[in-house]
Structure 1
């Protein structure tokens, strides 16, 4: 077998695997949409607008997961940046990818929430505890991405890691906000005590959409991690070539 064939074989399989996974993700998204629009019944109090819950809550849950990945990557980078630089760079790539995907889903939350609130409360926005802490979370991670995009210097990754860890501290505050404080926001779907929960007829559509949105997030995360690793490798190669040219 030629070196070219040996080199392209694994790459081809990876590309086919990603393509197949992307097809599965699209199928899940379509099926989730069908479940949310055509299978789930109307809510007795809110009617059709309640269907937005099948996008609003999954996007929030998935955002939390990817911010947690960013947190772990940031901790990993700070832990290994001196002792194991290669491993630290991989952790940093996960941190950046997790933050980017988390911001995407958190943006969906901040779009769908006011649409729902406009119909349920009669206003687009209120400085409710849940809404405010979610906005703060989004602003912190947007700041993280701006720092990574526009700042320069050897300490950027370190500063970003610290900011990523700081931002993640807001996640449990967002999650617990409508348990700790009086709020207009609806009770949690699960584990919120009186007033929480969901009719059994809605659980199937809800979990189908939760799985679909999570699968979509994993796809974006994997692609962004791969892209960032290529960027890191190219930057390292250019730096090495610049050093060699001075010798």
Structure 2
């Protein structure tokens, strides 16, 4: 079993193998993400019932929660990929970590923006310096730092290693975001979804929320595969198989 895993791991760590195998996955994941996310957003914005305390303003949850979840998950992905790159010197892991940075940055910004839009009519404030919101802002700044490191270094390999170290240091912020509302009493409401407790939402609200989260994650996977393939072509452009692939793309 272990030998099978090692063989599978080494195959997927090959840029050429990853490039070829990711083609169909990105296509089907993209279509699944589009279908599920569209269904969730239409259901949540148009057909879910009005919340008894917050009215219609709560509907932004169908964008806010998935983007917040995904911003944290992407950062963990970057940290894991960076660790793989540093420990096993697998260059594909660095490629994946780099292309995930703008995706995670976008999700962190979207989470903060939608949170502010939601907070104004609900709590009367666009922004408060509580633990959850401040730690999310730190996450956005970490993403900006990763992006800056990748673009500031003359050699891409140096940027990869520096960004990987920063990602591993900054990963301590993720549990702070996760458990902040349970540690400190703030305006931000407690976590809506918990594995250990029943969700305090009506099923007609919960289903589109879960679908939206799933759709966002599938969209991220599809975009990650597409952007990884582009990064492989850019980084491996001197390889013979890449030159042949580029020629084939140019002839289509």
Paired residues of 2:72 and 2:174 also in contact (CA < 8 A): yes
Partners in 2 of 1:230 and 1:18 — Cα distance?
16
Paired residues of 2:152 and 2:159 also in contact (CA < 8 A): no
- CA distance change for structure 1 residues 92 and 12 in 2, over 3 Å: closer, same or farther? closer
- CA distance change for structure 1 residues 41 and 152 in 2, over 3 Å: closer, same or farther? same
Partners in 2 of 1:95 and 1:215 — Cα distance?
17
Superposed, 1:140-159 pairs within 5 Å as 140-153=142-155, 155-159=158-162
Aligned alpha-carbon RMSD (Å): 2.6
Report whether the alignment pairs 1:199 with 2:207: no
| Superposition deviation, residue 141 in structure 1 | 1.2
| Superposition deviation, residue 190 in structure 1 | 2.4
Aligned length: 221
Partners in 1 of 2:136 and 2:194 — Cα distance?
19
Superposed, 1:27-42 pairs within 5 Å as 27-42=35-50
Report whether the alignment pairs 1:212 with 2:185: no
Q: Secondary structure at the match of 1:198?
A: coil
Partners in 1 of 2:79 and 2:120 — Cα distance?
33
- CA distance change for structure 1 residues 194 and 157 in 2, over 3 Å: closer, same or farther? closer
- CA distance change for structure 1 residues 182 and 194 in 2, over 3 Å: closer, same or farther? farther
- Provide the residue aligned with 2:116 in structure 1: 114
| Superposition deviation, residue 196 in structure 1 | 6.9
- Provide the residue aligned with 2:3 in structure 1: none
TM normalised by structure 1 equals 0.81
Choose from 175, 179, 182 the match for 1:179. Answer: 182
TM normalised by structure 2 equals 0.79
- CA deviation profile, 1:168-222 (whole Å, cap 9, x unmatched): 2211111111111121101101239999732223111111111111111111111
| Superposition deviation, residue 20 in structure 1 | 4.3
Partners in 1 of 2:96 and 2:22 — Cα distance?
19
Superposed, 1:67-82 pairs within 5 Å as 67-81=75-89
Report whether the alignment pairs 1:54 with 2:35: no
Paired residues of 2:81 and 2:93 also in contact (CA < 8 A): yes
- Provide the residue aligned with 2:249 in structure 1: none
Partners in 1 of 2:98 and 2:31 — Cα distance?
25
Paired residues of 2:26 and 2:225 also in contact (CA < 8 A): no
Larger CA Rg, structure 1 vs 2: 1
Between 15-24 and 131-140, the greater mean CA deviation after superposition: 15-24
Partners in 2 of 1:235 and 1:67 — Cα distance?
30
Q: Which runs of 5+ in 1 are unaligned?
A: 1-10, 82-87, 238-247
Q: Which runs of 5+ in 2 are unaligned?
A: 1-18, 241-252
Choose from 85, 94, 97 the match for 2:96. Answer: 94
- CA deviation profile, 1:124-173 (whole Å, cap 9, x unmatched): 11111110000001101111011102322453221111011122221111
Paired residues of 2:78 and 2:100 also in contact (CA < 8 A): yes
Paired residues of 1:190 and 1:196 also in contact (CA < 8 A): yes
Between 101-110 and 23-32, the greater mean CA deviation after superposition: 23-32
Between 224-233 and 72-81, the greater mean CA deviation after superposition: 224-233
Paired residues of 2:146 and 2:163 also in contact (CA < 8 A): yes
